Amino acid sequence: MTIKDVARLAGVSVSTVSRVLNKHPDVSPLIREKVLEVVKEHHFIPNSTARNLVRPRRDAVGIICLGRSNPFYPPIISQIEEMLNKAGYSMCLRFITLEEDELTYAAELERAERLQGIVFLGGRSDYTVAETAALTVPYVCCSFTNYFGDVPRERYSSVTMDDVACMHDVVGYLYERGHREIGLLLPSFPNRSISELRYRGYCGALKKLELPMREENVLFCSSFREEDGYQAVKKACQKGLNCTALVAASDMLGVAAIRAMHEEGVRVPDDCSLISIDGLNITRYTLPAITTLVQPQKTMGEESVRLLLDMIINKSDGQHLIVTPTIRQGESVQRLN
Amino acid sequence: MTIKDVARLAGVSVSTVSRVLNKHPDVSPLIREKVLEVVKEHHFIPNSTARNLVRPRRDAVGIICLGRSNPFYPPIISQIEEMLNKAGYSMCLRFITLEEDELTYAAELERAERLQGIVFLGGRSDYTVAETAALTVPYVCCSFTNYFGDVPRERYSSVTMDDVACMHDVVGYLYERGHREIGLLLPSFPNRSISELRYRGYCGALKKLELPMREENVLFCSSFREEDGYQAVKKACQKGLNCTALVAASDMLGVAAIRAMHEEGVRVPDDCSLISIDGLNITRYTLPAITTLVQPQKTMGEESVRLLLDMIINKSDGQHLIVTPTIRQGESVQRLN
């Protein structure tokens, strides 16, 4: 099916079909309708390949998503794609494993795909100027920021919640409900990351509330993977869990923690309460439903694109946006007072 | 940082650096090491932009994934990306909503990104020749096939489990454990889809086992979304659930079903057993852990790329591969005999 066939079937000239397809105003409504009917009936898609050969392809923005099966990111990605589409950019989406380095990957992708900008979904928080020198286009850190790095703040943008303050929120939520022995499950942090920020937030919150900080209440796991969280909680339960509530650094770690506690005879929330971070939809359906700190995913996606386009189009300096999470109540926190 | 800087810092010529970067054999190990040290230390990434301007970009394969937050697909996508990378193709990945039509989307993407081939992750099962005429490159249906359509089988490839036979597996599993009143939770099928195939498989299995087929045991929900499954099961429980076991058409529907039953005082598996389909990792951690039919995701990703490349490179006819799922035992099925 070519444009000539459409013209023949509609009984008009090829240039008329072309004018209709390109939405030129100088076509009578009747003719327009006739052409579109033929187009629709025969599922004709204008072949723009020839045009593409001379025109450059649409400008692309790279999205580099850390962690291949993390259900936290897809809703953000949807929002990013919609915004990019509206702005006339194409999206180049890649998932990388937790073992890969997003900066090295991004630098290669930037060149291979001639990207105009990059959004990192997850990543390290300690970029150096030397490392980022390999990137020649603007970038946005989404759901984290370059807290420990030495890159000047005007050189990149970020959209994230305050990972220190958020721990004050969740620890405070437990405190208000009478909890005084509050544990933490989170990945250890050989690379400075949001885990370190959340750990600092946890320590700060305990101190502020004058609660005891006990080494045995901090359960380190080797990654954000469910299996690693499960093993860490299982071991802790076997030694004897001394807290009345546990904060899990992500919802999926929370799900794994509940399973591990269950197997060791610790009931949630009767024997130990649990609160986690992210706000995944699945936490509404698990038994018990999990009380969680919900990150505003839609806003995070929208704002990441807005800040990136501002840098690409207006050559503006980087901007740093702090989004506000909210706690969604489930069934996993018991009131002790 | 340019290649000239690297040459200067390593004390060699630009052409030597170039030979090292392009992995030419005619460089002494000592010189090679020296150059790579400088490259590493200064995070130098070869700038191939100039080369890209004259060379065409890498051939791209499109991956169109239906359902933005379906955790079933990411592990398949990882496998596809790895295989495409090895074969020297770049991947153009897009998520579309359940409301969008993958064929229309694919035809536009094919032209916009000049794709060499397409893998559909999820889709309708009733493509017509007229509809697919808009696609001018080979494509593979992964996790479904064009069961109800009229497209000749040699024109496309598919990698899927047998959606009819798989229902015989799960219904048979329940039957062997003494269940005789077996219900089904699945999306209704205005568009012919795997839901219809699974429904047929369910009816066929009941018939073969001489079990009663009762209308009230089939719980239709409006989509694969958790919320819709939850509502359907909730309503059914309120009317009175008459089955001893329920088959959920996906793991996420299974999670939602367990929650709905729990709220209505139906305990899984004590009052009603549950088995679902997909084999998501999360089903190992839910309470109860869910017995599920595991689809071989890694194989499905690998084989999809293999069949697609065979069509692209060797101009071979479409091939149709049936993969074999296996049941992973959880805690959600009770033995009644």
- Reduce the DSSP state of residue B214 to 3 states and report it: coil
pLDDT, residue B191, reads 60
Contact B255 A286 (CB under 8 A): yes
Q: Which CATH class is domain B165-294?
A: alpha beta
Confidence of residue A192 (pLDDT cuts 50, 70, 90): confident
Confidence of residue B49 (pLDDT cuts 50, 70, 90): very low
Contact A285 B259 (CB under 8 A): yes
Contact A130 B43 (CB under 8 A): yes
Tokens 């993969």 label which residue? B323
Nearest CA in chain B to A60: B113
Considering only the beta carbons, identify the residue of B68, B131, B252 that sits closest to A43: B131
Considering only the beta carbons, identify the residue of A42, A95, A284 that sits closest to B77: A95
Task: Count the neighbouring beta carbons within 10 Å of the beta carbon of residue A170.
Answer: 28
Interface test with chain B among A21, A45, A230, by most B beta carbons within 10 Å: A45
Helix pair angle (B297-314, B74-86), 10° resolution: 40
Of A24-38, A116-130, B38-52, B57-71, the range with the highest mean pLDDT is A116-130
**Which of B223, B258, B265 lies closest to B240, judged by CA?**
B265
pLDDT higher than 60, residue B53 = no
**Which of B321, B322, B323, B305 lies closest to B313, judged by CA?**
B305
The span from the CA of A207 to the CA of A202, in Å, is 9
pLDDT higher than 80, residue A69 = no
Contact A71 B69 (CB under 8 A): yes
B271 vs A5, higher pLDDT: B271
Residue A281: list chain B partners with CB under 8 A. Answer: 69, 226
Contact A47 B111 (CB under 8 A): yes
pLDDT, residue A191, reads 60
Mean pLDDT of B194-211: 94
Residue A52: list chain B partners with CB under 8 A. Answer: 111-112, 114
Of A38-42, A187-191, B202-206, the range with the highest mean pLDDT is B202-206
B33 vs B150, higher pLDDT: B150
B32 vs B307, higher pLDDT: B307
Confidence of residue A12 (pLDDT cuts 50, 70, 90): confident
pLDDT higher than 70, residue A190 = no
pLDDT, residue B46, reads 63
pLDDT higher than 90, residue A193 = no
State both tokens at B256: 């939602």
Whether A60-161+297-325 and A165-294 share one fold: the answer is yes
pLDDT higher than 70, residue B232 = yes
Contact B282 A252 (CB under 8 A): yes
Confidence of residue B58 (pLDDT cuts 50, 70, 90): low
pLDDT, residue A112, reads 82
Q: Hey, what CATH topology would domain B60-162+297-324 get?
A: Rossmann fold (3.40.50)
pLDDT, residue B47, reads 54
The span from the CA of B199 to the CA of B160, in Å, is 17
Q: Which CATH class is domain B3-54?
A: mainly alpha
Mean pLDDT of B88-101: 85
Confidence of residue B190 (pLDDT cuts 50, 70, 90): low
pLDDT, residue A48, reads 47
Residue A108: list chain B partners with CB under 8 A. Answer: 45
Confidence of residue A223 (pLDDT cuts 50, 70, 90): confident
* A25 φψ region: left (φ > 0), alpha (ψ -120 to 50), beta (else): alpha
Residue B284: list chain A partners with CB under 8 A. Answer: 226, 259
- Mean pLDDT lowest for which of A125-134, B90-99, B260-269? B90-99
Confidence of residue B183 (pLDDT cuts 50, 70, 90): very high
Domain ranges of chain B: 3-54, 60-162+297-324, 165-294
Mean pLDDT of A39-68: 67
Domain A60-161+297-325: CATH superfamily is Response regulator (3.40.50.2300)
pLDDT, residue A49, reads 40
**Which of A191, A218, A216 lies closest to A125, judged by CA?**
A191
CA A30 distance to own-chain centroid: 48
The span from the CA of A311 to the CA of A137, in Å, is 9
Its pTM stands at 0.81
pLDDT, residue B32, reads 83
- Reduce the DSSP state of residue B188 to 3 states and report it: coil
| Closest CA of chain A from B132, distance in Å | 8
pLDDT, residue B152, reads 94
pLDDT, residue A238, reads 97
pLDDT, residue A29, reads 80
